[in-house]
Structure 1
């Protein structure tokens, strides 16, 4: 069952026509400047990325050489950060600094002291006025009120096969149109989102408390389908 977001603290925007579908795993924006960094799409390529400070909302501090983010409730006065069209101005979101245009790629995220966050991918040109998960150009797995969910285009699907977050994996198969949440302890896919990716994607993160640490350059665990 797909549920429209109704929680006050979650990002909200006007719904658009859905272009993707979230399903349980049973078998296994115009005006932004062009970026030129593209990763290799060969199977042997392990995605390596850092967080792009130019996109980070003013409430997010980057640390550990731009691989982690900390949420600051007050944050910086938006007028005191560099004004550029790549920065998210309304929501606590940051993107990775690599664009993915094909291939199969895996990374992990350590969660520390956070009870509300989102992890996934977004069109590199998504509107900086939207939050990841509220538009049809972003696909995420979120955690709020002690529950996991998959989200795109402002629609939520419950995810029940993964527990309290500590460290999770994300597996993106661009060509197959799949984004999967990986339970690292069980070494299995907990949930997969089916979509039609038509543009370069970036790793995407939303954070409303605590901190997240990203781990890229990893090989995909054996046995994931």
Structure 2
């Protein structure tokens, strides 16, 4: 008989519901220190490619499809059973991409159709692992919860007027221009954008409390956005 123990309970700030992570008999891919990837530092603007970084993934998240996808497991691992790493998010279901972006113009897409509660965007690579993306001044995200889109940074939420929920969305980052945009991939246009002053290396950032997300990088920026 598996022993199930409560590991952590945190409140998702927008959805207003408790998220409980528990340990159970559950298989998770473990990666030895020698096999782990370090961040790749990117300053150019062409065809950014990244995978999700297992070192940063909260214990409720599993990576799949060669670390391009992430799935939320409500029966996650007890954090004490996950390999200790100072880069891992401890309280929130967050994972970073394995790129540090210090300049340039970059574009990637995310398939979101299998999740009803998530956040997508960028965060400073040095962001506190005790915070959630969107709640501090070092992260900028677009999210979906309670069937509504929003933009969030510094714990401030701005509704995004997007009708329905597409299967896939794009993220456009222009580091020097201080632009982060949510992109309609069917009819390429920026739906909503942040204007910020980026002063530190950024990583693609993802929060997930339901279902799964699949990332698509190495893409050309759609012509309609240039």
Calculate the TM-score normalised by the size of structure 2. 0.83
Residue aligning to 2:63: 62
Task: State the secondary structure of the residue aligned to 1:54.
Answer: helix
How far has the Cα of 1:162 moved from its partner? 4.8
Match of 1:180 in 2: 181
SS of the residue corresponding to residue 182 of structure 1 reads strand
Q: Which moved more, 1:51-60 or 1:73-82?
A: 73-82
State how far apart, in whole Å, the 2-side matches of 1:6 and 1:145 are. Answer: 9
TM-score of the aligned structures, taking structure 1 as reference length: 0.83
Which SS does the other structure have where 1:212 is aligned? strand
Give the unaligned 5+ runs of structure 2. Answer: 1-12, 20-37
Summarize the alignment of residues 185-196 of structure 1 with structure 2, pairs less than 5 Å apart. Answer: 185-196=186-197
Alignment of 1:150-169 (within 5 A): 150-169=151-170
Correspondence for 2:222: 221
Contact map agreement 1:51 1:68 (CA 8 A) in 2: yes
Residue in structure 2 matched with residue 80 of structure 1 by the alignment: 81
Shift of 1:177: 0.3
After superposition, the CA RMSD in angstroms is: 1.6
The alignment covers a number of residue pairs equal to: 196
Question: Which consecutive aligned stretches of 4+ in structure 1 deviate over 2 angstroms post-superposition?
Answer: none
Cα gap change, 1:10/1:151 in structure 2, threshold over 3 Å: closer, same or farther? farther
Give the Å deviation of 1:39. 1.2
**Residue segments in structure 1 that go unaligned for 5+ positions in a row:** 12-34
Counterparts of 2:155 and 2:49, CA distance in 1: 29
Higher strand share: 2
Q: 2-side partners of 1:69 and 1:36: how far apart?
A: 18
Q: Which residue, out of 35, 40, 52, partners 1:37?
A: 40
- Which shifted more, 50-59 or 109-118? 109-118
SS of the residue aligned with 1:99? strand
- Measured against aligned partners, the alpha-carbon deviations of 1:124-178 in whole angstroms (never above 9, x if no partner) come to 0000000000000000000000000000000000100353131000000000001
Superposed, which structure 2 residues align to 1:203-218 within 5 Å?
203-218=204-219
For residues 5-26 of structure 1, give each alpha carbon's deviation from its aligned partner in whole angstroms, at most 9, with x where no partner exists. Answer: 6642399xxxxxxxxxxxxxxx
Structure 1 distance, partners of 2:14, 2:99, is: 32
Contact 1:162 1:190 in 2 (8 A): no
Shift of 1:37: 2.6
Distance 1:186 1:38 in 2: 31
Whole-angstrom CA distance in 2 between matches of 1:164 and 1:108: 14
Alignment partners' CA distance in 2, 1:61 and 1:163? 27
Deviations 1:181-225 (A, max 9, x none): 001112111001111100000000000000000000000000214
Rate the CA distance shift 1:10–1:205 in 2: closer, same or farther, 3 A: farther
Q: What corresponds to 1:20 in structure 2? A: none
Q: Which one has more relative contact order, counting CA pairs under 8 Å at least 6 apart? A: 1
CA distance in 2: counterparts of 1:60 and 1:165, whole angstroms: 23
